[in-house]
Amino acid sequence: MPDFFPRGTDIPSQSPLFWVSQKDRYLRQLLIRDIEAITGRRLLVYFTDCAAVAQIDGFDCKYITELLGSEGLPFDLLLETNGGQTDATENLVSILSKGSTSFRVIVPARAKSNGTLIALASDEILMGNPSELGPVDPNLVMGNQMIPCSFIISAANAGQPVDPIMLQFALAAINQTMKLAETVLAQRMLKGTAPDRIKTIVNDLATRQKYYSHGSVIDSGEAASLGLKVQYLRPNDDLWQKIWLLRCMYEFDARMLGVAKMYESVNLSHSIKIAPPVL
């Protein structure tokens, strides 16, 4: 009979009670090791439960820094997030870019909004059938609503009354996003590409001229048609099947444990619990 995952007959070196309490992590890390054996690259994981209120924020940087270490070896980042703060994303992108001369992003399911910006900073994006990126157009909170910055700017350009402070916030937010996207694409994925071509791609992603919703789905084919470097993994691809299994493990384990974020590598693991509701 084939020796399916997980395999082996040796008793763990940890004490039984400790091993049982950590068994889900050990199984995930075993699969991380299997994926690394296929790719020949380190695999880091930044997973957020997209059903929870968990965003990219300034606290992520220390955990990603620890995962990267100081080896400087080529690595892949398995990424799942709905997005988050642009300032924190800018810092994460800087940390990841300095971590190695070769850096890919794997998107099993969702890397939306500023998650897409992180993907743009890589050399290549690995995607399968359920994988989706999204527009990176920033929003501003106005009352209980999230208003696209491009809507505020368009209203002002059309002569409609707009609060001048909100207009400045909107202009600054969209300029920050577009500058970051153009910079990271020119440094890695689209290095050597004409600046005007990069500006066109970023304009498509950062305004509502091409994608009319912040939640619009950009699948592997759409991402490639934009001009991004995408490697499509078929459903029967052995690497894809292991990636999808690992991603399913993170989603299940996060919800069972009440965890909002998980940062993991073959030998390191951190998690952030979902914050209790404020009464």
**Contact yes or no for 74/103 (Cβ under 8 A):** yes
Query: Has residue 277 got a pLDDT over 80?
Result: no
Beta carbons within 8 Å of 132's beta carbon, 6+ residues apart: 107, 109, 110, 111, 112, 217, 218, 219
Tokens representing 241 are 């099947």
181 exposure class (CB count in 10 Å sphere: 0-12, 13-18, 19+)? buried
CA dihedral 65, 71, 74, 75 (to 10 degrees): -40
Reported as a single tens digit per residue, the pLDDT across 211-248 is 999 999 999 999 999 999 999 999 999 999 999 999 99
Beta carbons within 8 Å of 258's beta carbon, 6+ residues apart: 273, 274
Q: Give the C-alpha distances (Å, rounded to integers) separating 237 from 40, 73, 228, 241, 244.
A: 16, 25, 22, 6, 11
Q: Domain map of the chain by residue range?
A: 18-134+217-272, 137-194+204-211
DSSP reduced 3-state for 137: coil
User: Closest by alpha carbon to 123, among 145, 105, 137?
Assistant: 105
How are strands ordered across the β-sheet holding 42-48? 230-232, 124-127, 103-107, 75-80, 42-48, 259-264, 269-273
pTM (two decimals) = 0.94
CATH topology of domain 18-134+217-272: 2-enoyl-CoA Hydratase; Chain A, domain 1 (3.90.226)
User: Closest by alpha carbon to 204, among 170, 153, 196?
Assistant: 196
Reported as a single tens digit per residue, the pLDDT across 11-66 is 888 898 998 889 999 999 999 999 999 999 999 999 999 887 789 999 999 999 99
For residue 275, the model assigns a pLDDT of 75
Cα gap 122→215, rounded to integer Å: 22
